[in-house]
Structure 1
């Protein structure tokens, strides 16, 4: 592989402008395809095969008229002025006029006001109107939402509190906003400090943006082939941008080191592509494998998220080993450091070398202190609770949150956690009538705790299936609501044994509970899979038994510490205001599995870049302590800069409004910080120092059957020697 990338680097140098043109043409072609095909994201996060999904299927079959529509809808919630009710003549007249004005919108199909849908609260102070549109939610014009906002403002001017929520708007999250721009600017400043050159600092940013553009456009094209959840695009942007900058950083750093040693531009590019490029290729493929590995949990929306992110990572790899060398060739001598000392700053940082000497001098206390710190941070993970965010977790400054609170005030917290119970009775010869058996089954629900209200059964046309709406006494994120779902299912099992009545629970609350449970079950299986994968991959690369074990244990510490921190902040609410989290609540249900996969891939990146330089030195000298010092001196500062850039990119997503994106950015930023600066810069060199020779132990029989992967570029030494030999 190293030889191939070396020759590729030489050819790219000779055809640098053609390579740049080809990259830009690829970007234009992808953009043209997106314009022609369009993009189609969904907000669906269902998991086929769960109990609630099976119940929903029965519900839709037996009550086709109730099947969910994709049409846009908005729920406007009203609260009367103090001392009045919604039935007061002036208030009633004002609301009817407002709703009549909204009904003039040509896209509105129907409006059911609080006086038509019997939604007035017990004290008549709160009620809601449901606005249904003729178009799909994503196709409703922005002007329709503006009319609703104007109506709400008009109501507020009359002293009536008016709030609203709904599903109108594109499911695709906004990208390219201020937070991402800030992240890129900070990354540029880090690169400028690392390289001491604004010109060179701009290259990783430029190439990463081009790679991200190609990757995102490919993802948008992919939405025409498979269903993709809307959050997939954000994850793809996060990873594509972060790894794009980092991979370019590694190659450019190695290039400048070779230039500082006196190599020609062409030879330096070829060497950088062969050495750092090999590491980029292997590390990037590891990230892709981890992302595609999300498919093993058999959860469709998680699989497509992994595919989308893998596409942008693949684009970043291709750009790093093709376009980055071309840009370096175009820049030419301008990338050469003014002095060897300046040029090697990214490769041989004095500060990193001082830290390396400190770790080598005190390996045991540093390793113990770092491990104990991560164990302490990990402890809150034992209390992990997962769920999906709703309007109740948004800021009180949003109208959606205020609408949520008004509805809870009017109808109780369980209003936001409705359950739909499907009761199906098979015909029984000589037994009780079907309707009577359904009624008896529904009556039994009344004995279950934490049920606020139960509606009368609604029978289907054949009379053998009924639906019952159950309102819990607690909200959707309360553990008692989850217990209620479990108790109803236990009751269902009891009556199924006693007779031919099947009882199932569904509704969004039950669906979300089942999604969380399914994802929590998948986490240990997925973690075991990628731990095994890490052991095999690192064993092949470094031809060692102990290095993969050490890397796996370090990764597990990173993962548990990240989950502990997220529970501490998101679930328990500590430091929540600092990170802009408006309300403490459950951790995003798919975040643990997603974090496990992404952190695995990125942790292996840093492991490969750091330890490969140690292996190169150990192979040359056979001295384990010198190998650690060489690895820290040559790659430590680059890994630190790369980790800091990735932290900044991920952290920039913490400040967006969307709760899911915010929690993803926080988890990945903290996870990368822990892995790059505590695990890789403290624990790894300390353990390697404590095991100077044993760390590189590899049985001879295993060495014979293990394929060889040249990540350090050993195979190009002969090529270099031949090129440098006098003719």
Structure 2
């Protein structure tokens, strides 16, 4: 591989015009494609095949007009009367009607909701928007009438009415849900402004009006600033590393081009696939970090090679052949880890993995082709623009005077047990909070308390009870029942009431065939509480026995059940995916280092850094340690599994870049201890700079308003810190020093069957040496 990359590097340097033209054409082509082929993003987190999704599919089949709880577009206006008043009072009722009048004029409101109640026909009465007081009165009358017809009691009718009523028992809080045509992707700033203006009408009249729902979700600040912060820090680190403004700018130029092409490609993909709105940001975050690092490693090696040869094209070829080999392998590990997310079988997570993998793929291609072409464009000025007071060092050069890295690695190899134990203790202590890990999807319940949607949620919770924010929907199928449909559905309701956590259960709809019913269940606990999911599990556990006794089957769906199933599926996939990633890590590292113990220690180090990262993230974002987060909440359900994939790739990056230099010296005749020292000395400065850059890029995303992006930015920054500075620079050198020659042991039978990928460029070095010798003889 190193030989082919060497040729690519030389070609790109010499044919810089051709290579630059090709990449410019690619950038323009992707830009045109993004402008013409893009589509909307989505924030639906459904997973095919989950119990809740199966029940939802049955609901859609038997009730074709039923709304999808994960895709319905609406805005819920929640009204709270001033202290000492109720919503019944004339001035408050008038204020609510003014709000509803304004709401009828909002864009995309459904036709039924636009009808003025005063002009509505009897058939239209249930579809129009009326204030909570009027709606409550009508609901109670209908429930009483239905109870009389069906032989029910007035007490049960009032209980059912209370469970559906939009007016609280003390008549101080009420709500109206305004439906809209379209989906979440149709929401724009104009709609949000109109919804907010309608709410302001009620506030001006003295009511406390808060708004929640998919149509009223607060718009998040557009990205851009966080990327600039990360790039700014990277520029400073690169300038200090090379002592040159031009050299510092080269990795930034290639990274920006790579991220640009990657993000444009993802934009094109939105026209052909459903991608989450978070997918582009995640891809940019990862693509930017690895692109800068990969270019840094090659530029650093190029800086070293031009001290050994006056032919800059030759130096570029050698840099791409050696450091580029590590870049290709490191990029491959990241890509494999991200693509492997698809084995979990979760569509939106697979899409995130594919998108991020694409940006990493582009970053690798640019590092080994565009970067040497740009080096050729600058020629002898590649390291111009010297910074006053900053020495223009060769980051990989040997120094006669022992530096900090040389003194440090000397101490580590002399007393390896001390740093080994210290490193493991640090990571172990950091991992302790991970024992309390809780996962959930982002909802209004986990939103910022300062937002209107969260305040609306809290008003409903306090006035109606926690379960009102997250009702469950039972879909009862009586096609094979041993009794008539009405009796069958009544039996389901009675069975549901056997559970203490059920506050209310009532039939809210029967299909035209009369064989399927929708039964709304109000739980005692809120949608994000464990007791609610325990209730769902209990109901599902009892379904088989109930079906055996009655012939009636049922499933549980609704937004709460759907989100709970997504979280549970993600959590159950965590360990299998970790096993896949660990297995891949071991195999890939065995190919690179041709050793058993080096991959084993590297993999164990990866596990330690992952656990420490989970612990730190749980401590800050879930437990609220240090007060750094004003609204501690459970971690987003798919964050841990996504984090494992990314951290795996990044961990292998630093393992490859640092330990390949050790192996390079070892195979060239150095002792095991000498190889650790010289390899560390050559790679430590560049790896440190790369890690600081990556930490800065990821940490900058903590400023993003999105909870998932904020937590994943912190987690990735923490992961790089733990892995680069604790695992790869403390634990691994100590272990390598303890193992000595045994670190590079490989059974002969395994050595024969393993392909030689030559990441350290041993074959290339021999070929170049032979070529140089022939040239000397001919001269």
Tell whether the structures are fold-level matches, with TM greater than 0.5. yes
Which whole-Å CA distance do the structure 2 matches of 1:175 and 1:600 have between them? 29
CA gap 1:632/1:113 in 2 versus in 1, 3 angstroms: farther
Whether contact under 8 Å (1:393, 1:582) holds in the other structure is no
Q: Deviations over 1:154-177 (max 9, x none)?
A: 432332112212323899976542
Whether contact under 8 Å (1:52, 1:507) holds in the other structure is yes
CA gap 1:212/1:236 in 2 versus in 1, 3 angstroms: same
Quote the offset at 1:215 in angstroms: 0.9
Quote the offset at 1:327 in angstroms: 1.5
Match of 1:114 in 2: 131
Match of 1:380 in 2: 433
Does residue 19 of the first structure (1) align with residue 11 of the second (2)? no
SS at match of 1:66: coil
Which whole-Å CA distance do the structure 1 matches of 2:171 and 2:300 have between them? 69
Q: Deviations over 1:467-509 (max 9, x none)?
A: 1111211122211112111111122232123220112111111
SS at match of 1:455: strand
CA gap 1:525/1:4 in 2 versus in 1, 3 angstroms: same
Please, which moves more after superposition, 289-298 or 515-524?
Answer: 515-524
Match of 1:93 in 2: 94
Which whole-Å CA distance do the structure 1 matches of 2:524 and 2:480 have between them? 34
Please, which moves more after superposition, 468-477 or 374-383?
Answer: 374-383
Match of 2:264 in 1: 217
Does residue 168 of the first structure (1) align with residue 185 of the second (2)? no
Quote the offset at 1:132 in angstroms: 2.5
Match of 1:343 in 2: 393
Whether contact under 8 Å (2:42, 2:184) holds in the other structure is no
CA gap 1:341/1:81 in 2 versus in 1, 3 angstroms: closer
Match of 2:444 in 1: 391
Match of 1:440 in 2: 491
Does residue 516 of the first structure (1) align with residue 517 of the second (2)? no
SS at match of 1:43: coil
Please, which moves more after superposition, 210-219 or 452-461?
Answer: 452-461
Quote the offset at 1:228 in angstroms: 2.0
Does residue 146 of the first structure (1) align with residue 200 of the second (2)? no
Which whole-Å CA distance do the structure 2 matches of 1:256 and 1:282 have between them? 21
Match of 1:641 in 2: 689
CA gap 1:263/1:449 in 2 versus in 1, 3 angstroms: farther
CA gap 1:495/1:136 in 2 versus in 1, 3 angstroms: closer
Quote the offset at 1:542 in angstroms: 0.8
CA gap 1:631/1:83 in 2 versus in 1, 3 angstroms: same
Q: Deviations over 1:322-356 (max 9, x none)?
A: 11111112222223488997332366693322322
Whether contact under 8 Å (2:130, 2:176) holds in the other structure is yes
Quote the offset at 1:58 in angstroms: 1.0
Which whole-Å CA distance do the structure 2 matches of 1:457 and 1:8 have between them? 68
Does residue 559 of the first structure (1) align with residue 560 of the second (2)? no
Match of 1:455 in 2: 506
SS at match of 2:177: strand
Match of 1:158 in 2: 205
Whether contact under 8 Å (1:378, 1:564) holds in the other structure is yes
SS at match of 1:556: helix
Query: In structure 2, which of residues 232, 247, 250 is the aligned counterpart of residue 185 of structure 1?
Result: 232
Does residue 498 of the first structure (1) align with residue 555 of the second (2)? no
SS at match of 2:215: coil
Match of 2:718 in 1: 670
Please, which moves more after superposition, 138-147 or 191-200?
Answer: 138-147
Match of 1:655 in 2: 703
Does residue 679 of the first structure (1) align with residue 727 of the second (2)? yes
Which whole-Å CA distance do the structure 1 matches of 2:181 and 2:419 have between them? 64
Please, which moves more after superposition, 176-185 or 67-76?
Answer: 67-76
Match of 2:663 in 1: 615
Larger radius of gyration: 2
Which whole-Å CA distance do the structure 1 matches of 2:410 and 2:43 have between them? 51
Whether contact under 8 Å (1:138, 1:168) holds in the other structure is no
Does residue 465 of the first structure (1) align with residue 516 of the second (2)? yes
CA gap 1:318/1:347 in 2 versus in 1, 3 angstroms: farther
CA gap 1:564/1:216 in 2 versus in 1, 3 angstroms: same
Which whole-Å CA distance do the structure 2 matches of 1:124 and 1:530 have between them? 56
Which whole-Å CA distance do the structure 1 matches of 2:602 and 2:766 have between them? 31
Which whole-Å CA distance do the structure 2 matches of 1:608 and 1:629 have between them? 16
Quote the offset at 1:719 in angstroms: 4.3
Which whole-Å CA distance do the structure 1 matches of 2:590 and 2:191 have between them? 59
CA gap 1:723/1:168 in 2 versus in 1, 3 angstroms: farther
Please, which moves more after superposition, 71-80 or 652-661?
Answer: 71-80
Whether contact under 8 Å (2:445, 2:528) holds in the other structure is no
Unaligned runs of 5+ in 1: none
Quote the offset at 1:50 in angstroms: 1.0
SS at match of 1:76: strand
Quote the offset at 1:16 in angstroms: 1.5
Please, which moves more after superposition, 283-292 or 330-339?
Answer: 330-339
Unaligned runs of 5+ in 2: 115-128, 137-165
Which whole-Å CA distance do the structure 1 matches of 2:84 and 2:100 have between them? 23
CA gap 1:150/1:231 in 2 versus in 1, 3 angstroms: same
SS at match of 1:710: coil
Quote the offset at 1:605 in angstroms: 0.9
Aligned length: 722
Quote the offset at 1:293 in angstroms: 0.7
SS at match of 2:625: coil
Which whole-Å CA distance do the structure 2 matches of 1:325 and 1:170 have between them? 46
Whether contact under 8 Å (1:241, 1:649) holds in the other structure is yes
SS at match of 1:468: strand
Query: TM-score, normalization: structure 2?
Result: 0.89
SS at match of 2:212: strand
SS at match of 1:621: coil
Q: Deviations over 1:383-402 (max 9, x none)?
A: 32211111222222221221
Whether contact under 8 Å (2:106, 2:195) holds in the other structure is no
Match of 1:329 in 2: 376
Quote the offset at 1:435 in angstroms: 2.0
Which whole-Å CA distance do the structure 2 matches of 1:176 and 1:273 have between them? 33
CA gap 1:305/1:481 in 2 versus in 1, 3 angstroms: same
CA gap 1:582/1:473 in 2 versus in 1, 3 angstroms: farther
CA gap 1:173/1:38 in 2 versus in 1, 3 angstroms: farther
Quote the offset at 1:45 in angstroms: 1.3
Match of 1:478 in 2: 529
Quote the offset at 1:249 in angstroms: 0.7
Whether contact under 8 Å (1:352, 1:632) holds in the other structure is yes
SS at match of 1:633: helix
Match of 2:464 in 1: 411
SS at match of 1:680: helix
Match of 2:158 in 1: none
Q: CA RMSD in A?
A: 2.2
Which whole-Å CA distance do the structure 1 matches of 2:750 and 2:218 have between them? 51
SS at match of 1:360: helix
Does residue 711 of the first structure (1) align with residue 759 of the second (2)? yes
Query: In structure 2, which of residues 405, 415, 419 is the aligned counterpart of residue 362 of structure 1?
Result: 415
Q: Deviations over 1:621-659 (max 9, x none)?
A: 241111111121111121111111111111111121111
CA gap 1:242/1:174 in 2 versus in 1, 3 angstroms: farther
Which whole-Å CA distance do the structure 1 matches of 2:758 and 2:694 have between them? 26
SS at match of 1:596: helix
Which whole-Å CA distance do the structure 2 matches of 1:26 and 1:503 have between them? 54
Whether contact under 8 Å (1:113, 1:130) holds in the other structure is no
